[in-house]
C-alpha cells in the first residue's frame, strides 16, 4: 500500500514533468531545435500565478488561466526575439541554444530583481481535505494537479489529432517545404506551437507552486534539464512519449527517494537517460510529432 | 604588478580559457558537449585529494594536475566509447546528463566531503602556473591543426561519411577528441581547485558546462583563437559591466542573443563556417 501511495505521488510529480516535456516535444517536433529557456517559462508561469493570487485575489483555476495566457504571450515573444531571427539567418542548431540560454538568463535576472533570489511562499489555494480511497489518501491539491494535467494532456491529444491547427502542426513537423507548398503558413504554425508549448510549461509551473507551496527564480534550471531528459527518453519530438516519459521519471524519482536516498533522486533520472541512450537511442517511442496512425 | 583583484581575475580567465579549449577539441571533431563541468569536477577532486589529503607524502602540484587531467581523460574515453555512436541533439542531451550524474555522485560521495564540499586545499595555483598551462595548450592545439589527427578532426566535423571513406577510423578519432577535451577540463579543474581552496559539487553544475559551451560557440571553433576570444569576452565583460549592478547579466544575455543572430559561427569564424 505504501508503494501504491508512492506511485500516486510519483504520477503527480511526473505529470508536471510531462507538461514541460510536451512543450519541448512540440517545439522540437516542429523546429528541430532545443529551447533552453523553456524551464524559465515554467518559472515565470509560477510567478504570474502568484501575482494574480496576490493582487487580483483569484482562485486556483483563474491563477492557472492567467499563467497560461501570460506564458503563451511570453513564448511568442521568445520565438520572435530569439528563434526567428536566428532561423532566418540559418544559424544552424547551435546558435538557437545560445540565444535561448540568453533568454533564460534574462528571465532569471528579471525574476530575481523583482521577487528576490530566495524562495517565495506560494499561499495555499485549497482547503486541506483528504480524500480516502481504501487505505490510500489524496489531498485536494493533488487531485487538482492530477485533474488539470491529465485534462491538458487529453486536450493536447485532441488538438493535435482533431483540429485543423493540429493537422497543420503535424504537416510542418513532417516536412516544412511540402507543408508550405500545400498552403500552410509555417511561420504562423511555429508561433502557435510556441504559444501552446509555453502555456503548458507555465501551467506546470503553477502546479508545482501549488504542490510545494514555494517558488524561486531558479526553479527553472532543473526543469530545463529534466524536460530535455524526458523528451529524449520518450523519443525526440514525440508528444505521447513525453507524456509517458514524464510519468515514468516522476514515479522513478519518488521511488528512489522513498527506497534509496533523496540525494540520489537526480542521479537516477540521468542514469535512466544514459540507459535509454545505450539500449534504445531513438527513445522509447520513436517517430516525430505523429499522432495515431 | 597586478593587484590581487586583477590577479584573481587573470587566474579565473586562464581557467576559463582552458575550459574553452576543453569544449573546442571535441567540437572541432563535430562532438558538442554540454557536460564539461563533470570532467572539471573529476580533475578538481582528484588533484585536490592528491595534494592535500595524502599525509604520508606530498604529490608535487604538476604531477597532481596531470593525474587529475588523466583521471578526467580516462572517464572521458569511457563515456565517449558508447556516446560517439550518437550525434547532434542526442549527444548534447547525453553529455548534459553525464555532467549532472557526476555532480550527483560527488554529492553522495562522503570521503570527498559530499554535499558540504572539500575544504583546506593548498593554495598552489599561481598566475605563472595558469599562464604556462594556457600557453602550452594553445601552442599544442595550434600545431595540432596541421597534424594528421587535427585534419582528421576537421574532416569528421565537415562530413563523417566522407571522412570514413578517406580511411579515417571514426571511432578511434572521436574517442581521442572527446578524451582530449576531458583531459583539458580535468587540468582546468585542478588549477581551479588550488585557487578556490574550497570545492563543492554545486560549483560544477549545468551553468558551468553551459558557460564553457558558450565560450566556444561565441568565440568560434575554427581555430584555438576562437575559444580564447570567447573566454575573454565572457569572463571580462561582467567585470566591466559592474556599473549596471543587478542588471549586468541581463545586458550579457541580450549580447548573447545578438551574437546568436549576427555571428552564429562565433566571433572568429570563416564566412562559410556559419552553418555546419
In this prediction, residue A125 carries a pLDDT of: 79
- Chain B CB contacts of A271 under 8 Å are 101
User: Is A24 domain-assigned?
Assistant: yes
User: Is A262 domain-assigned?
Assistant: no
Q: Contact A22/A155 with Cβ under 8 angstroms? A: no
User: Is A44 domain-assigned?
Assistant: yes
Scan residues 124-153 of A and list those with Cβ closer than 8 Å to B: none
Most A CBs within 10 Å, among B104, B108, B246, to test the A interface: B104
Number of independent structural domains in chain A: 1
In this prediction, residue A293 carries a pLDDT of: 33
pLDDT < 50 stretches in chain A: 290-293
User: Is A272 domain-assigned?
Assistant: no
**Nearest chain B CA: its distance from A132 CA (Å):** 36
Most B CBs within 10 Å, among A36, A79, A100, A101, to test the B interface: A101
Most B CBs within 10 Å, among A33, A88, A93, A270, to test the B interface: A270
Alpha helices (H) in A163-283, listed in sequence order: 164-174, 176-181, 186-212, 219-234, 239-259, 265-279
d(CA A178, CA A231): 26
Size of interface A-B (CB pairs under 8 A): 135
d(CA B262, CA A86): 8
Show the cell assigned to A244: 509517458
Answer whether A103 touches B (CB < 8 Å).
Answer: yes
| A163 DSSP assignment | S
- What distance separates the 2 farthest-apart alpha carbons in chain B? 57
Answer whether A264 touches B (CB < 8 Å).
Answer: yes
SS3 of chain B: CCCHHHHHHHHHHHHHHHHHHHHHHHHHCCCCCCCHHHHHHHHHHHHHHHHHCCCCCCCCHHHHHHHHHHHHHHHHHHHHHHHCCCCHHHHHHHHHHHHHHHHHHHHHCHHHCHHHCECCCCCCCCHHHHHHHHHHHHHHHHHHCCCHHHHHHHHHHHCHHHHHHCCCCHHHHHHHHHHHHHHHHHHHHHHHHHHHCCECHHHHCHHHHHHHHHHHHHHCCCCCHHHHHHHHHHHHHHHHCHHHHHHHHHHHHHHHHHHHHHCCCCCCCCCHHHCC
Scan residues 2-21 of A and list those with Cβ closer than 8 Å to B: none
User: Is A175 domain-assigned?
Assistant: yes
Cβ neighbours for A128, distance < 8 A, ≥ 6 positions apart? A139, A140
Answer whether A96 touches B (CB < 8 Å).
Answer: yes
Q: Contact B2/B10 with Cβ under 8 angstroms? A: yes
| pLDDT tens-digit map of A133-169 | 777 788 888 889 999 999 999 999 999 999 999 999 9
Q: Which residue of B has its CA nearest to A104?
A: B253
In this prediction the pTM is 0.88
Alpha carbon of residue A95 to chain centroid: 22
d(CA A96, CA A84): 9
Query: In a 3-state reduction of DSSP, which class is residue A137?
Result: strand
- Chain B CB contacts of A82 under 8 Å are 257, 260
* Nearest beta carbon to residue A232 from set B90, B115, B213: B90
- Chain B CB contacts of A267 under 8 Å are 100-101, 104-105, 108
Residue (of A26, A21, A25) closest to A165 by Cα position:
A26
pLDDT in tens, chain B (276 residues): 678 888 999 999 999 999 999 999 999 998 999 999 999 999 999 999 998 876 566 788 999 999 999 999 999 999 888 777 777 788 888 888 889 889 988 988 888 888 888 888 888 889 999 999 999 999 999 999 899 999 999 899 888 889 888 888 889 999 999 999 999 999 999 999 999 999 999 999 998 999 999 999 888 888 899 999 999 998 888 888 877 777 878 888 888 888 888 887 777 776 554 444
Query: In a 3-state reduction of DSSP, which class is residue A284?
Result: coil
Scan residues 225-244 of A and list those with Cβ closer than 8 Å to B: 225, 228-229, 232, 236
**Nearest chain B CA: its distance from A256 CA (Å):** 13
CB contact under 8 A, B97 and A229: yes
CB contact under 8 A, B264 and A281: no
d(CA B11, CA B14): 5
Show the cell assigned to B113: 566531503
CB contact under 8 A, B218 and A98: yes
Q: Would the ipTM clear 0.95, i.e. be above it?
A: no
CB contact under 8 A, A102 and B256: yes
| A264 DSSP assignment | G
Answer whether A109 touches B (CB < 8 Å).
Answer: yes
User: Is A2 domain-assigned?
Assistant: no
- Residue span of the structural domain in which A210 resides: 18-219
In this prediction, residue B271 carries a pLDDT of: 53
Amino acid at each position: 500500500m505504501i508503494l501504491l501511495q508512492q506511485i500516486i505521488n510519483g504520477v503527480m510529480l511526473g505529470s508536471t514533468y510531462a507538461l514541460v516535456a510536451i512543450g519541448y516535444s512540440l517545439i522540437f517536433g516542429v523546429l528541430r531545435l532545443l529551447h533552453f529557456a523553456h524551464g524559465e517559462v515554467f518559472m515565470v508561469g509560477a510567478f504570474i500565478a502568484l501575482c494574480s493570487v496576490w493582487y487580483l485575489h483569484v482562485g486556483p483555476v483563474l491563477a492557472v488561466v492567467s499563467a497560461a495566457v501570460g506564458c503563451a504571450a511570453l513564448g511568442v515573444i521568445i520565438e520572435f526575439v530569439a528563434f526567428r531571427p536566428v532561423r532566418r539567418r540559418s544559424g544552424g542548431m547551435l546558435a538557437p541554444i545560445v540565444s535561448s540560454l540568453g533568454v533564460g538568463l534574462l528571465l532569471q535576472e528579471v525574476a530575481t530583481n523583482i521577487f528576490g533570489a530566495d524562495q517565495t511562499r506560494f499561499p495555499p489555494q485549497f482547503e486541506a481535505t483528504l480524500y480516502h480511497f481504501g487505505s490510500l489518501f489524496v489531498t485536494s491539491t493533488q487531485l487538482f494537479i492530477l485533474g488539470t494535467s491529465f485534462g491538458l494532456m487529453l486536450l493536447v491529444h485532441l488538438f493535435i489529432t482533431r483540429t485543423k491547427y493540429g493537422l497543420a502542426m503535424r504537416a510542418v513537423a513532417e516536412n516544412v517545404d511540402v507543408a508550405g507548398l500545400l498552403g500552410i503558413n509555417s511561420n504562423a504554425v511555429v508561433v502557435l506551437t510556441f504559444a501552446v508549448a509555453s502555456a503548458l510549461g507555465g501551467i506546470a509551473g503553477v502546479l508545482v507552486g501549488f504542490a510545494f507551496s514555494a517558488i524561486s527564480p531558479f526553479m527553472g534550471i532543473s526543469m530545463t534539464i529534466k524536460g530535455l531528459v524526458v523528451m529524449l527518453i520518450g523519443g525526440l519530438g514525440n508528444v505521447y512519449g513525453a507524456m509517458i516519459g514524464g510519468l515514468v521519471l516522476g514515479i522513478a524519482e519518488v521511488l528512489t527517494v522513498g527506497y534509496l536516498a533523496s540525494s540520489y533522486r537526480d542521479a537516477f533520472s540521468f542514469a535512466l537517460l544514459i540507459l535509454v541512450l545505450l539500449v534504445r537511442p531513438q527513445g522509447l517511442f520513436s517517430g516525430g510529432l505523429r499522432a495515431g496512425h | 604588478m597586478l593587484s590581487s583583484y586583477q590577479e584573481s581575475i587573470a587566474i579565473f580567465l586562464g581557467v576559463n580559457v582552458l575550459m574553452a579549449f576543453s569544449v573546442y577539441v571535441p567540437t572541432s571533431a563535430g562532438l558538442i558537449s554540454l557536460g564539461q563541468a563533470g570532467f572539471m569536477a573529476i580533475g578538481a577532486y582528484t588533484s585536490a585529494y592528491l595534494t592535500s589529503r595524502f599525509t604520508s607524502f606530498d604529490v608535487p602540484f604538476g604531477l597532481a594536475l596531470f593525474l587529475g587531467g588523466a583521471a578526467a581523460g580516462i572517464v572521458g574515453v569511457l563515456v565517449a566509447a558508447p556516446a560517439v555512436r550518437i550525434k547532434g541533439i542526442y549527444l548534447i542531451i547525453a553529455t548534459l546528463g553525464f555532467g549532472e550524474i557526476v555532480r550527483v555522485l560527488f554529492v553522495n560521495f562522503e570521503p570527498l566531503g559530499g554535499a558540504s564540499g572539500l575544504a583546506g586545499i593548498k593554495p598552489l595555483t599561481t598566475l605563472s602556473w595558469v599562464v604556462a598551462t594556457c600557453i602550452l595548450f594553445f601552442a599544442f592545439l595550434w600545431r595540432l591543426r596541421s597534424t594528421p589527427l587535427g585534419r582528421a578532426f576537421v574532416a569528421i566535423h565537415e562530413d563523417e561519411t566522407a571522412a570514413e571513406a578517406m580511411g579515417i577510423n571514426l571511432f578511434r578519432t572521436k574517442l581521442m577528441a572527446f578524451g582530449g577535451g576531458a583531459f583539458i577540463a580535468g587540468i582546468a579543474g585542478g588549477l581551479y581547485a588550488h585557487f578556490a581552496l574550497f570545492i563543492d559539487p554545486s560549483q560544477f553544475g549545468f551553468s558551468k558546462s553551459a558557460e564553457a559551451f558558450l565560450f566556444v560557440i561565441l568565440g568560434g571553433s575554427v581555430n584555438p583563437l576562437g575559444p580564447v576570444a570567447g573566454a575573454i569576452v565572457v569572463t571580462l565583460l561582467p567585470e566591466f559591466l559592474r556599473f549596471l549592478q543587478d542588471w549586468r547579466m541581463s545586458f550579457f544575455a541580450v549580447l548573447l542573443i545578438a551574437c546568436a543572430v549576427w555571428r552564429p559561427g562565433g566571433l572568429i569564424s570563416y564566412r562559410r563556417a556559419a552553418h555546419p
